[in-house]
Homo-oligomer: A and B are copies of this chain.
Amino acid sequence: MPLSEVHSKKLEEAIKALHTRGHYEAFMEDPRSYPNDGQKLEELLGTNFSMMGEDAKDFLESSEKSPFTQQMLGVSYPFLNTSTLANQAEKAFEVWRKTSREERASLLMGSLDRIAKLFPLMAEATMHTTGQSSIMAFQASGPHSSDRALESLAIGYELLGRYPKHADWHKRVGKQEIHLKKNFVAKPYGIGLSIGCSTFPVWNSLPSIFANLISGNVSLHKAHPSAVLPIALVLNAIREEAIEQGFDPNIVQLAIDPKEGPRTKELAESPMVKLIDYTGGSPFGEYIESLKGKITFTEKSGVNPVLMRSSENLNATLGNLAFSLSLYSGQMCTAPQNIFIPAEGVFENGELIPFDVVVKSLLKAIRGISEHEKIGPGTLASIQSEQTIERIKTSSNSGAQILLEASSFSDSHFPNSRNSSPAVLLVEEDEMDLAQSECFGPIAIVVKSKSFESAVKSAKDLAAEQGAISCACYCIDGKLNEWVADEMNQSFVPVSFNLEGYIWVNQAAAFSDFHLSGANPAGNASFGQVEFVSRRMVWLGNRYFQKPE
């Protein structure tokens, strides 16, 4: 199908945004822009979720359970064995690989329209699988994911025009004029496997799925067993659009685990799988990266530092930081963990505020959120997995001094919510064992540092060794900040300086911010980068000798 005028214009805007890198959102953030006139989550509970265009016989119930209500969702999904999935994918690939970039873009733009209609339902599904608050679930799985998906699509669309389709090559050799016609083609690899995670089942996978599809690859999605529904809705929308546009819906397929346990390795090791996108813990991520003959895109664990030095308004600074730590109870790969505060204290407009006072104010700001009846539950939301609750306990029993104890809090809307206020621990810079690895969840570690300079060095070294995705620096000395940026950038971590108000270090905006650098142990992928898409296709130039006239 040719690209409609509306889609063509939107795609053009998106491509422009890739280059200007200012604020751009193709999908508005406000839930009120998306009236829910479709299905509600409760209508899906306890049902078989059919995938469009698939005549599945076996349905398996997932282990999805709402972190807010502790109720099982009871949704069952079609189960296909790995060879069936691979064979269906190969068949779909045979046609899809030969489509033009316009055909691919048309299908993907149409899919995005369909997905947008599902935003309210996806928000509910995301909330009750990940434990995200309603608004975060809406934005993360809805407009933010779709913006990132469009970003992949825009990058890929532009890429496919990187070289002319045909070129004439003339060269005089002695008396002969050699003329070759050259055709440049971008060949996809085949099947791309994306491995979903439990905390951001759509946001972390949709950019990969779109990157695969725009490049001419087909997509096989292995959903996390505790967060299937949000991504199943999305995959189904793409399948619907594929059918509508006359393509095999198996260009995207959902793979769920059998009763016996996970089959991620079985899928990843399948010789037919050529590309793998993975989000999750480092040990499995390293296994994925080690697979021979696969192109991999990983997002693994990391330890994100906060560097404190000076502020014009310490309360505003600490308020911003406290919110960053509290948002979705730190269950974000971009959430800060290690807060480096110099032992001598932090400057506020030239005045040195002692370490203890700074820490006290930080704790107050955190409690101001977690103990606030309305803001608390809406910000901290719920804890996705029992392991995170365990992790809070383990960290708190690590021997580090406890500055603030974690505890569950009452959520008036969800009395059974599994939740926790943040634990804040204290370590010295030269005894920072606890701070050396990721403590995923509502766990913040104050590192009492010898100096700001030594804190920067520690954070830089730790990022190089353990990985980091984000770094917040609060320092109002521009010259010093140049140095901080250069130091942290050498460990391939970007720095956000002096954030205040409604913008937090956890956030990365499509079309402007890359997500991960791909160059430290936190992962080898970089969302929003040209290479996130270009590595999924291979350019070849065929040469045709032309007889002299």
Q: List residues of A whose CB falls within 8 A of some B CB.
A: 19-23, 162-164, 167-171, 173-174, 176, 178, 180, 182-185, 187, 189, 312, 481, 485, 489-490, 492-503, 509, 512-514, 517-519, 526, 529-531, 534-535, 538-545, 547
Instruction: Name which residue of chain B comes closest to A519, CB basis.
Output: B538
When the two chains form their complex, are residues A544 and B502 in contact, meaning their CB atoms are under 8 A apart? no
Given contacts A183-B485, A531-B534, A535-B531, are A497 and B543 in contact (CB under 8 A)?
A: yes
Q: A167-B22, A485-B183, A543-B497 are in contact. Are A538 and B518 (CB under 8 A)?
A: yes
Task: Establish whether residues A542 and B495, one from each chain, have CB atoms under 8 Å apart when the complex forms.
Answer: yes
Given contacts A23-B170, A493-B540, A512-B541, 6 further A-B contacts (CB under 8 A): A187-B519, A496-B542, A503-B545, A514-B539, A517-B539, A517-B540
Q: Distance (Å) between the CB of A52 and the closest chain B CB?
A: 29
Q: Are A544 and B503 in contact (CB under 8 A)?
A: no
Given A184-B21, A497-B544, are A512 and B178 neighbors across the interface (CB < 8 Å)? no
| Cβ A538 vs Cβ B512 within 8 A | no
Evaluate contact between B541 and A513: CB separation under 8 angstroms.
Answer: yes
Is there contact, CB below 8 Å, between B20 and A544? no
Known contacts A485-B183, A492-B187, A519-B189; decide if A499 and B538 are in contact (CB<8 Å): no
Contact of A492 among B22, B498, B540 (CB under 8 A): B540
Determine the distance from Cα of A549 to Cα of B212 in the docked complex, in whole angstroms: 44
Chain B residues with CB under 8 A of A498: 544-545
Chain B contacts of A494 at CB under 8 A?
Answer: 540-543
Whether A20 and B187, one on each chain, are in contact in the complex, defined by CB atoms closer than 8 angstroms, is: no
Nearest chain B residue, comparing its CB with the CB of A509: B169
Determine the chain B residues whose CB is within 8 A of the CB of A189 once the complex forms.
Answer: 519
Contact A502 B169 (CB under 8 A): no
Q: How far is the CB of A101 from chain B (nearest CB, A)?
A: 17
Q: How many copies does the complex hold?
A: 2
Of the candidates B187, B481, B501, B512, the one whose C-beta lies within 8 Å of that of A169 is B512
Contact between B542 and A503, CB atoms less than 8 A apart: no
27 A-B interface contacts by CB (under 8 A):
A19-B163, A19-B164, A20-B164, A20-B167, A21-B184, A22-B168, A23-B171, A162-B530, A169-B509, A171-B509, A176-B501, A178-B501, A178-B503, A180-B503, A185-B489, A187-B489, A187-B492, A481-B544, A494-B541, A495-B543, A500-B545, A500-B547, A503-B545, A526-B538, A529-B539, A530-B534, A531-B535
In the complex the two chains form, is B492's CB within 8 Å of A538's CB? Answer: yes
Q: How many whole Å from A148's CB to the nearest CB in chain B?
A: 15
With a cutoff of 8 Å between Cβ atoms, the chain B residues found around residue A544 in the complex are 481, 497-498
In the bound complex, how far is the Cα of B511 from the Cα of A171, in angstroms? 13
Closest 10 CB pairs of A and B: A173-B502, A21-B167, A519-B538, A494-B540, A496-B543, A498-B545, A23-B171, A497-B544, A485-B542, A23-B169
Q: Kindly state the separation between the CA atoms of A538 and B524 in the bound complex, as whole angstroms.
A: 11
Q: Which B residue's beta carbon lies closest to that of A537?
A: B519
Report yes or no: A512 in contact with B545, Cβ–Cβ below 8 A: no
What separation, in Å, do the CA atoms of A85 and B503 have in the docked complex? 46
A21 near B180 (CB under 8 angstroms)? no
Q: Which residue of B lies closest to A512 (CB)?
A: B169
Are B176 and A513 in contact, CB atoms less than 8 angstroms apart? no
Contact A490 B187 (CB under 8 A): yes
Distance (Å) between the CB of A216 and the closest chain B CB? 11
Least CB distance, A392 to chain B, in whole angstroms: 30
**Residue of B at shortest CB range from A98?**
B486
List, in ascending order, chain B residues with CB within 8 A of A184's CB.
Answer: 21
Q: Is the CB of B21 within 8 A of A174?
A: no
Contact of A182 with B497 in the complex, beta carbons under 8 Å: no
Complex-state Cα separation, A164 to B513, whole angstroms: 13
User: Which residue of chain B has the shortest Cβ distance to A478 in the bound complex?
Assistant: B544
Q: Which residue of B lies closest to A175 (CB)?
A: B502
CA distance A178 to B529 in the complex (A): 24
Closest B-chain residue to A163, C-beta based?
A: B21
A497 — which chain B residues lie within 8 A by C-beta?
542-545
Bound Cα distance from A498 to B180, whole angstroms: 10
Set of chain B residues within 8 Å of A499, measured between Cβ atoms = 543, 545
- Residues of chain B within 8 A (CB-CB) of A187 are 489-490, 492, 519
Report chain B residues within 8 Å CB of A496.
Answer: 542-543, 545
User: Which of A164, A183, A544 has the most chain B CB atoms closer than 10 A to its own CB?
Assistant: A544
Q: How far is the CB of A295 from chain B (nearest CB, A)?
A: 9
Shortest distance from the beta carbon of A485 to any chain B beta carbon, whole Å: 5
Q: CA separation between A163 and B17, bound complex, in Å?
A: 11
Q: Collect the chain B residues with CB atoms within 8 Å of residue A547's CB.
A: 312, 500
Nearest CB of chain B from residue A105's CB, rounded to whole Å: 21
